[in-house]
Amino acid sequence: MQQGRVLGLSSTLALEAARLSTVMKLPMADSIMLTTARTFDAVLWMQDADFEGLDGVRYAPA
């Protein structure tokens, strides 16, 4: 049923996520997801309003 890959959280990814969290005032978990998607040129599909209007995110309200 899994259609994606599980990725490890590298120190590079973690540091960029921390920077993004500070700059964009996002929770750390949200920043990790967004940073990971951007790093791998993936589109992040979310129903969380915190992501509405962000580059690389497809926001689909529930």
CA atoms of 22 and 8, how far apart (whole Å):
22
Q: According to the model, what pLDDT value does residue 21 have?
A: 97
Domain boundaries, the chain: 11-59
Q: According to the model, what pLDDT value does residue 1 have?
A: 52
Which two structure tokens, joined as six digits, stand for 45? 């599909």
For residue 34, count CB atoms less than 10 angstroms from its CB and return exposed for 0-12, middle for 13-18, buried for 19 or more: buried
Contacting residues for 33 by C-beta, under 8 A, at least 6 apart: 44, 46
Per-residue pLDDT of the chain (62 residues), as tens digits, is: 567 778 889 999 999 999 999 999 999 999 999 999 999 999 999 999 989 999 999 999 88
Other Cβ atoms less than 10 A from the Cβ of 60: the count is 10
Q: What is this structure's pTM?
A: 0.84
